[in-house]
Structures are given as structure tokens and as C-alpha cells.
Structure 1
Amino acid sequence: MAACPPPSQQFCVAEERSGHCAVVDGNFLYVWGGYVSIEENEVYLPNDELWLYEIDSGLWTMHLMEGELPTSMSGSCGACINGKLYIFGGFDDKGYSNRLYYVNLRTRNGTYKWKKITDFKGQPPTPRDKLSCWVYKDRLIYFGGYGCRKHNELSDCFDVHDAFWEGQIFWGWHNDVHAFDTNTQTWFQPTIRGGVPPQPRAAHTCAVLGNKGYIFGGRVLQTRMSDLHCLNLDTWIWSGRIHISGEKPKDRSWHTLTPIADDKLFLFGGLSSDNVPLSDGWIHSVTTNGWKQLTHLPKSRPRLWHTACLGTEGEVMIFGGSKDDLHFLDTGHCSDLLIFQTQPYSLLRLCLDCIGKNASLLKNQISWLPSKILPQVLKKITFWAAANHRQEKKAEIERQEQINVT
């Protein structure tokens, strides 16, 4: 597939997908990997495609990648450190992975090259997918996931899935912690110095606030959880399950947790214990140790196995995922971008949006603006033109569907 034509020729959108990786660096959201369903078959998306969403203009572009390409996978764990996107683990046609790759997102020549990290020291985690990652002090710190182990690798940090074992290979859930130091290219397994760790799990979510790594929910054996745990990333001491009074989110897996302030976490979506796709949003305050449900979110936009990234002005960008229960109806993969504004926009941003929305009325005056902000204004004009284009296209599709029904 070729890269998208320039914005003047076409407004393109990243392909629908679930189980992908997404990160924000600078003014761009980057998306890689995942899978879709085609005629009841799971199809992994091309491993040489990197999709970029420019936050200011609202435009998607696709870039072909080079180098030591990862295999096409889902359930990989993606994270960004110093402008580099790291991909670890995942599941492909051959099984689970414990390979680590990176790509420099700040390339000057527009060429994105994958590099497989092979000259590392230490021992990486066993192969797995649906794990989570904290980024702290230039380290990638991984927790949990679902994967396989040999008989001689079984330990207390692994719960065997009774229905999935054969010979000397066992499948199940992990709760071990592994770290990769990106400066020294070294894997190590930190010594947990105290506290009670979470149960082994997968399809959970995590976030970092200060030096604390938080974990919420996920699949544990045959059930889903709504427990919250915290690991001190300096002392390696677990908090144990954090007891919270008052209302709290229901059990779930395949959800996201995003830090939105120094003491707040934003929880969105997932799949409930009764296999219902969720569209609810919650704010957890570390200061008050309480959850608060957001009441203004649309109930018609459930998501699970999506990604969530924090933008430059505190907006949470939810991309992709599924609106259906992937275990039973694996057809509802999404390509839209849901943006949740978690704090007031700056005055500059509000003014730029106002100009962008009313560009046709202000077209004779735009050239009078200071040259320093003119490029930002033009991007906002493009953003709202693209938004209007997508809205018109959606309305046209709905009209055609109505005609077909009648």
C-alpha cells in the first residue's frame, strides 16, 4: 500500500484495528500493528506501515518502514522514550514473542527504520502478549501478560491455564516485573523488596504518576478484575491492593488508564465480566484515593483493546479498538479517534480553533495575522476542513443506508 496522497488530494484515515500500539511524541500520534477481521479470519496488519496523526492539523499520513521489521503482530506493548518507539512481545502466526525492537520517530529524512535489539545484556522476559509497560528513568518496566513457559520455568509468578498445556509447554498468566535500561541496553529483573503483588494477569492497564507505577483490572484466570495496585519504581515495593471507599468502576479487561495530571488517572472502556463492551470513563484521584465517574460521555461509543495517549494540551486520544466482544463477535474494529478534553484548552488554542471553524468568513483577514502564528492557523483550518469532510462523508453513508433500507 502506498502512502496517502497529500492532504490537498485526499483526507485519509488510519485503518481500523485492535491490539495495536500507539504513542505520542511531540505533535504526532504514531500507530503501528494490530489486526482486523476479514471474513471471520484474523488478519495482522502490515508490519511496514507506520501511521501518523498530526494533532494540530488533524490529518493522517502513512509511511512505509524499512530495516529489521518486526513480524506483523497484535498484543505487543509499545512505549516511547526520547523519541524512540519500542515494541516488545506480541502474538503472531507462529506464537508468542519476546523480541524487542525500536524505531527513531524523530528522523530527519522522513525514513523510519526498525532496529531489532540483539546485543543486549541480561535475560528478557519469556514470550507473551497483552502485557503492560511503565516508562521511568529511561527504563521500560514490563508487568504481566499471557504467554507460555517451559516446565522448568514455572514459578509462583505464573498461573497455568488448565485448558492450554501440552507436553512440557504451559500457557498462562504472569505477574513478574522485568526492566530494560535503554541507556545500557540491559535487561534485569528487579528484586521486589516488599508488599503483596497483584495476581498474575493479562489485558490489564498501567500508568505512571511520579515514581509510582499503577495497575488496574485485567483478566485473572477465568474472571476480570477491578483492583488497583501500585509499585514504587525506586524501592520496588508493592502497595498491595489499594482499598477504595465509595463508587468504583466495574470489573474489566482490555481497557486503558492514562495519567492526566500529577495526581489523576483517566480510565476508559474495556470488556466487562459479563462480556459487555464498555463506554464509561472514570477519574481516579491519588490525593483523595477515590474514583469519580464521568457522566457526559456518549454511551454509543464503547471500546475495548484500544489505545489511549495524552496529547500536548491534556487531551486523551483514544484510537481504534473494537466496539464488540472480540471473543464472540470479532467484526467491530474501529478506525475513529475519540478525543476527551480533560482540562481547559489554552487561550491560544481556543482562538486558533475559532479561526479554523470560521475560515470562510475570515479569509480576507487571515493574512493580517502575525507571521509567527500563521502556520498554526493554516493547520487549524486544515483540521476543521478535514473534520467537516469526515462529517459530510458519514452523513452521506447514513443517507445511502437509509435509501437502501427503504
Structure 2
Amino acid sequence: MLLADKQTYVYDPKSDTWTKKADMPNIRSSSSTAVVDGKIYIFGGFDARTRTSFPTYVYDPKTAPSMPKPIGSGTSAAVIGKKIYVIGGLDYTGDIYKNAKNNYCYDTETETWTKKQNIPVSSLKFATAVVDGKIYAIGGRNDAGSPPTQSHLINGTIYMYDPRTDTWTLKKDMQNLKLEGTSATVLNGKIYIIGGNVSDGQGTTSTQVYNPSDNSIKDFKPLKNARTNASTVTIGNNLYVIGGAKDRNRASPLKSVEMYTLDESTPETPTTPESTPDQSSGDRALLVITMTNGLEKEFDLSMDEVNDFISWYDQKDAGSGSSKYAIDKHDNNKGPFSSRKDYVIFNNILTFEVNEYSSK
């Protein structure tokens, strides 16, 4: 039996405690969620009895326009700026299940939906992550038959969606381990692919790291417990994996939370932004940051340092990464200090400019 619920809990990692919050208006299962401006948006799903078209709910609370058509289980949602992209899932027509390649964009400012280019492969129970303003759709399965439990074909692919061109590109085929029900989170420009289940439906402890900058994937430290359909989030340098189940059918649900801290002494290299025709006219630059209070901060940096700052800013603007960034003050290091760094807070930045020059 598929179980559904409408409860809401918030987890505080500082105190390691859970707090009960307001229930959703409807019981839902297999919905997808996204966060914009501190508000949680809930899309699609079903109540385990009927495949009705639910409104889009916002945990603020207020309601938003429903999706253009009913979409059931298995969607995934990704945020770029003020827009939410709801991708994949299953379409329902009466008792008929149909694989979906949906890609709908919800603008939280205008409260409108727009149809976008379909994902190339029918997919549900996959993960999405955003790096440098692009969406990466990872794993998932293609259900065949009606009902879909008759056959499962795990995709095992990584597709990239570019909203600027409204196009999809196949980036990687995960030949070694194809996964559905996996989850993903971003840290330092890399995507951590955590848990999921393989073709036999059993959860896995496997974790992998995908680097969009060079299209590479490698194994990472495994989980303590095999999990599928878990939730994953990054806070600072900590990766949190919450709940899930030991198998696809959720016969053995998990209540535990696992945390992994990335070693700050060996930081990973941030993704370098895409080059443009007018980029890299010199090897150094003056980075001028204007704060929301009108204060200007000026830093004389190498272009590598500037690109690292821009990469951090783009990731945070897309909804992931640390809220602060440390900039080395270099020649401004005055006094008996081994080093001096200026920490800028993302929410306090109004604008910034880059004035390149050559030191040669």
C-alpha cells in the first residue's frame, strides 16, 4: 500500500531537533518541492486513493496556480533565480499511467506557468541539481505498462538543461551504477549523488560526485545505511541525508539523519564560469563590490580569484552554497597577521563590477 501524509516538520541542525509545523491542506505522496525566497513550493503528487489535480501550495502559507495538467508521482523540481522548473513524473488519465517528459516553468513573481522543452527521456524518481544556472537531471526510471509496476527500466543518465537556450544535452551515462530514487545536492560547484536503488529495488549506500566542469564522475564516501527516496541538503560544508527507505516499495522507512562534513583543509575546486568573447583580457582585475548600504569594497585579485568569486555568486543566486565568501586581502595585509580575509555576505551585495588589467 502507498502511504501519504500531510504533516510538516522542520529540522534544526544546530540543536539536532525536529519541530512540528502546520499541516498541508491535503494529504500528498510523491510530490516535488522547491524553495524560493524562504517559501516552500509543493507540486503534484497524489493522495494514494485518487489521482486528482492538486493546487500548487506554498508554505507561507498561500496557494498558487495549479500546474497546467495533473502530474502524479516522480517529478523533480529545480530553482534558478525566481523560477521553478518541474520536470518528469507520471501522467494519469483515469487509471491509465503514462510516462511523462514534462518540463514546466513556474515564475514565482508573475505566478504563471510556461511550457518548456521536454526532457529527452521519460523519467520519474530522479534527482535534479543546479550548477552555474543549468539544471542537471540524474538517474531515474522509465516505467512501462499500466500500471507501471509491470516493468522498470532505470535510465542511469545525466542530462543538462540550459534555460537560456531551452535545450537538453546528454552529459554522462552512469554505466557503473544506474540509480532511481537517488537524491542530489551541490557543494563547491560539484554535485553529490547520494543513495537510491538499483534494478532489484533495494536501496544502496553508494554516493558519487559529478563535476560539471570536466564532465567526470567518481565514487565518494558511502552512506552508513542503504537509502532510497531520501532528501539531501547542503548547509555550509555539511551534507545532510534525511529519511528515505531501505527499498523502492518503502516497506522499511528510515527516520535517521546522516551528516558528512567536507574537510575544509582540502577544499574542492569551484566550477569555472563559461568563457565569453570579452572575458580574460588580462590576468588581474579590480573587483568592486557595492553593498546594499552603499558601501563599496575594492579588491585587487588574480582572474582565478575573481572567477572563483563569480562562481560562488552564481551558485548562491541559484539557491545553493555558502551564504558568505572569503576574499584574501593580499597586499592590504597590514599588521602582525599571518593573513587577512574580508567576508562578504551574499544578501548584502547590491552589485559588483570586474575591471581587468594585465600585470605584464
The answer, yes or no, to whether TM exceeds 0.5 is: yes
1:86 counterpart residue number: 41
Cα distance between partner residues in 1 of 2:37 and 2:103: 22
User: Any idea what SS the aligned residue of 1:303 has?
Assistant: coil
Closer, same or farther: CA 345–332 of 1 in aligned 2, 3 Å: farther
2:15 — aligned with what?
57
- Could you tell me how far 1:115 is from its partner in structure 2? 2.1
Residue matched to 1:132 = 76
Offset of 1:345 from its aligned partner?
8.3
Using the TM superposition, give the Cα deviation of residue 310 of structure 1 relative to its aligned residue in structure 2, in angstroms: 1.3
CA shift digits 1:319-355 (9 cap, x unpaired) = 11101341xxx43101111112234289xxxxxxxxx
Q: Show the counterpart of 2:357.
A: none
1:210 aligns with 2:132: yes
Structure-2 separation of matches of 1:332 and 1:51: 20
C-alpha displacement at 1:252, in angstroms? 1.4
* SS in structure 1 at match of 2:11: strand
Does the 8 Å contact 2:232/2:241 carry over to 1? yes
Partner of 2:217: 291
Aligned residues: 257
- Give a deviation string over 1:221-261, Cα, whole Å, max 9, x none: 3311211100102211111x2246xx855111111121112
2:103 pairs with one of 177, 195, 218:
177
Equivalent residue number for residue 299 of structure 2: none
What aligned pairs does 1:2-401 form with structure 2 within 5 A after superposition? 41-45=1-5, 47=6, 49-65=7-23, 69-92=24-47, 93-104=49-60, 114-118=61-65, 124-149=68-93, 170-190=96-116, 192=117, 197-221=119-143, 222-239=152-169, 241-243=170-172, 249-262=176-189, 264-294=190-220, 296-298=221-223, 300-311=224-235, 313-326=236-249, 330-344=250-264
Mapped to 1, the partners of 2:104 and 2:251 lie a distance apart of: 34
Deviation sequence 1:373-396 (CA, Å, 0-9, x none): xxxxxxxxxxxxxxxxxxxxxxxx
User: How far is 1:94 from its partner?
Assistant: 1.8
Name the structure 2 match of 1:156: none
Query: What is the CA–CA distance in structure 1 between the aligned matches of 2:80 and 2:172, rounded to whole Å?
Result: 25
| Alignment partners' CA distance in 1, 2:54 and 2:22 | 24
TM-score, normalised via structure 1 length: 0.59
Contact 1:249 1:282 in 2 (8 A): no
Indicate how the Cα distance of structure 1 residues 274 and 50 shifts in structure 2: closer, same or farther if over 3 A, else same. Answer: closer
Which protein has greater RCO, CA pairs closer than 8 Å, 6+ apart? 1
The code of the aligned residue for 1:58 comes to: D
- Does structure 1 retain, via aligned residues, the 8 Å contact 2:77–2:128? yes
* Structure number having the greater helix percentage: 1
Pair 1:243–1:95, CA change in 2 (3 A): closer
1:134-182 per-residue CA deviation (whole Å, 9 max, x = no partner) reads 1012011111001214xxxxxxxxxxxxxxxx7xx63121112101100
Counterparts of 2:115 and 2:30 in 1: how far apart (Å)?
Answer: 22
Contact 1:98–1:125 (CA under 8 A) maintained in structure 2:
no
- Kept in 1, the 8 Å contact 2:159–2:172? The answer is no
Distance 2:176 2:183 in 1: 12
Q: Is the 8 A contact 2:182 2:196 kept in 1?
A: yes
**Relative to structure 1, is the Cα distance of residues 257 and 96 closer, same or farther in structure 2, using a 3 angstrom cutoff?**
farther
* Letter of the 1:344 counterpart: E
Q: CA RMSD in A?
A: 2.3
- Alignment gaps of 5+ in structure 1: 1-40, 105-113, 150-165, 347-406
- The alpha-carbon deviation at position 284 of structure 1 amounts to 0.7
Which sections of structure 2, spanning at least 5 residues, go unmatched? 144-151, 267-360
Q: Could you tell me the TM-score, scaled by structure 2's length?
A: 0.66
Q: Distance in 2 between matches of 1:272 and 1:58?
A: 31
